[in-house]
Structure 1
Amino acid sequence: MTYCVAMRLDAGLVFLSDSRTNAGVDQVSTARKMQVYEHPGERMMVLMTAGNLSISQSVRELLSSHTGASGYTLWTAPDMYEAARIVGEVVRLVHARDAKALSEFGIDFNVSMIFGGQIKGTPCRLFQVYSAGNFIESHSEATYFQIGEAKYGKPIIDRVITPSTPLDEAAKCALISMDSTLRSNISVGLPLDLLVYEDGALAVTQFATIDDNNQYFRMIRNTWGQQLKTIFEGIAAPVWNAAPDTTGNVLSSAATRSQPMRAALPPTMAPGSQPAAPLQTLAQQFRDGQQ
């Protein structure tokens, strides 16, 4: 498994990926999930992958030289939409070649990708590509994509990121998102690849490989946890069993629906009832003709 996140902002693009691969508890290794396709001054594109590593590597290997049905390659596509179509075609090509054989061994064709960048004369664009080769594009109300173990790192992005977020702030948010995922899931691991692209640069603007010794990421990991604990401790505890007119941090009060929904006790267990005779006793009474 893996975790990758990318953000499309007014100022450019942010990409972040981990490098953990896992084929079982005793087969954990490292492989880079981010591939850059760059022709400085003309185009800059990034592909991040999650899922089956052999499928991802096959897609990356074919993508550099594949000519799409439109006659374009990744290096000649006139815009990012056409480039995304080429990525989808390559995914379907690998599926046609390998899916049946994989299925015979009980292996699903499982791959997901984030693809984004900019081609000269066109805007920055960001896409998520699925196993079927189809894709969707980010927009102002959904300005980021995640693949892999996305759930742990999603809340901070939802609360912080908007199209107007500066690139450095977005990079910080992406790293906090990754730290939350690393803390909660062992299938995601260091080192990380972080790429920040400034709109109009048509070349990689900033790139960093982040490992355990990276000073900034170590600061993120320590400070974020401490700040969360401080904020948590600063929130007032709830007030229980308050009167209906009480103001403040009331969690429960003497009002309608103030009790949990309880299942009714069986009649033989109700207060004052006689305990039921054991089944063996009833059977013996039946045999003796007493019932």
Structure 2
Amino acid sequence: MTYCIGMRLDRGLLFMSDTRTSAGVDNFAVSKKMFSWSVPGERMITILTAGNLATTQALISLLEERSVSEEERNPGILRQPTMFQVARLVGATLKEVITNSSPSGQTSDDQFGASIIVGGQIKGGKPTVFMIYPEGNFIEITDDTPFFQIGETKYGKPILVRAYDGKMDFAEAIKLLLVSFDSTVKSNLSVGLPFDLLVYENDSFACDRTKRVNADDAIYQQIATGWSDALRDAFQLLPSYSL
């Protein structure tokens, strides 16, 4: 399992993913789940992956290969005119990978399934985020749904729903994401550090604001400890319920 978030703010986009791919009593594996492409001054595209690791790695390999050898292959991710067309390409490629993995063609309920978040901006268009399903179809972020989650979503969603504000700055939004991820890590062994973070400012067309948050990150530790303490304090302030 995994946990990934793509979020839209008034100022830009935020992406965060964990890196755990397996978790057992004595077996922990780490793998990157965030991938980015950029053409300075023209486009920035980021993909987050969740699901079967062989499927997601094949997806990223195909997208990268077709971007490098564009003359001999179908138009690559760096040739699409809009983010909508990028989402269509990623969806079609994901469906191709899943179908080729099994003669019967797998769906979201099958072992080869995967879910994808793709977001970014292409010059002439607005920054946006899409969530892509194993069948290749997708939905776009809206004002009513300003963030997408994939993977182990339930533990980290309550804080996002309660605290999200599109007007918040990047620092506040990163704090919100870290609380959401910390809540998930504490609730599910299959999600774990380090976390990969990317901040995209509107019209910058660059993916140079990235960071890997490790377990010993001082600010993350302060946020995680502070959030736990704040929850305990808030609980004590609530009225008791007697029968």
Q: Same fold (TM over 0.5)?
A: yes
Equivalent residue for 1:10?
10
The structure whose Rg is larger is 1
From 147, 152, 155, the counterpart of 2:155: 152
Give the letter for the 1:43 counterpart. R
Q: CA shift at 1:101, angstroms?
A: 8.0
In the alignment, structure 1 segments of 5+ residues that lack a partner are 241-291
Q: 8 Å contact 1:102–1:109 — kept in the other structure?
A: no
Q: 1:159 to 1:211 in 2, by over 3 A?
A: same
Write the distance in 1 (CA, Å) between the matches of 2:77 and 2:150: 22
Give the aligned partner of residue 272 of structure 1: none
Q: Hey, what's the Cα distance between the residues in 2 that align with 1:214 and 1:235?
A: 32
Show CA shifts across 1:239-269 (max 9, x none).
Answer: 43xxxxxxxxxxxxxxxxxxxxxxxxxxxxx
For the residues of structure 2 that align with 1:173 and 1:206, how far apart are their CA atoms?
A: 18
Unaligned runs of 5+ in 2: none
| Matched length | 236
Identity of matched residues, %: 40
Q: What amino acid is aligned across from residue 236 of structure 2 in structure 1?
A: E
List aligned pairs for 1:243-258, cutoff 5 A: none
Offset at 1:164? 2.3
Match in the other structure for 2:77: 74
What TM-score, normalized by structure 1, do the two folds share? 0.76
Matching residue's letter, 2:90: V
Which residue number in structure 1 is paired with residue 240 of structure 2? 237
Match of 2:207 in 1: 204
Match of 1:42 in 2: 42
Larger RCO, structures 1/2 (Cα 8 Å, 6+ apart): 2
Structure 2 counterpart of 1:111: 114
Tell me which stretches of 4 or more aligned residues in structure 1 moved more than 6 Å: none
Which residue number corresponds to residue 224 of structure 1?
A: 227
Say which structure is richer in strand: 2
Distance 2:26 2:50 in 1: 20
From 114, 120, 133, give the equivalent of 1:130. 133
Deviates more, 1:193-202 or 1:231-240: 231-240
Quick check: 2:99–2:105 contact (8 Å CA) kept in 1?
no
**Of 80, 88, 93, the match for 1:90:** 93
Deviation at 1:100, TM superposition (A): 2.8
